[in-house]
Structure 1
Amino acid sequence: MFEGLVSTIEFQLSLLLFVALAGYLIASKINQSAIVWEILVGIVIGPSLLGLITYTESVQSFAQVGAVVLLFVVGLEFKIKDIFNVKYGIIALIGVIIPWIGGFFLANFFGFDFISSVFVGT
């Protein structure tokens, strides 16, 4: 009965907006990141579980617009003085160096050559 309705792009985009808003509201109520909840809701309604949304060209275009808006909002909230804050710089440096060292030594442990280990660490 509803198979024709579910396959229309209007229904899929409406459902997409509705569940994105629902994910945002749930996340804000429990003081969590909205992005994580929106990803979880997307997994549930996407082709992996319920299959209500199919990954068509229209949905792909909508997702790209959403990504652009998200990056724009991040740019608006970004404070340039935080880059030059030593505390944040050290945290960022540790966040890069520790995974690199771990990947490098793990690749060495499994017998990769030096160049391959550097690549895995990167």
Structure 2
Amino acid sequence: MSNIQVKITLLDERLEDGELQEKTENLLQDIKETVEIESAGLLPVKNSEQGAKDIGGFLLGVLTAEVKVANVKSLFRFLSDRLLGKTIEMEVTANGKTLKVKASSAVELNAAIKAAQEFVGE
């Protein structure tokens, strides 16, 4: 199986664009320091969907990570701990298929992570 691609979008209408991007960058840095990943970064504007907001050449509130199957469970555990109670959208791509989930509560986040784990076969 090839690596798993994970796209995470933080959604918080209460934050100004700069604050949301700062939280996204902090999450990205924490992922890089905590989880064994192949690569991770902010999503460049060139990969944007119509109507998406950007800041500094990157999509606002969006990051991506590429992780080996063996390490995807630790990424999901990290996200579960770190994003509890936050509103997010997560897109997981594995084996040429994509799963999209949205969560805005602890229960929904746990269900989304469970669905993603089942999707990648973890």
Larger RCO: Structure 1 or Structure 2 (Cα < 8 Å, ≥ 6 residues apart)? 2
> If you compute each CA radius of gyration, which structure gives the higher value, 1 or 2?
1
More helix by share: 1
More strand by share: 2
Q: TM-score scaled to structure 2, two decimals?
A: 0.25
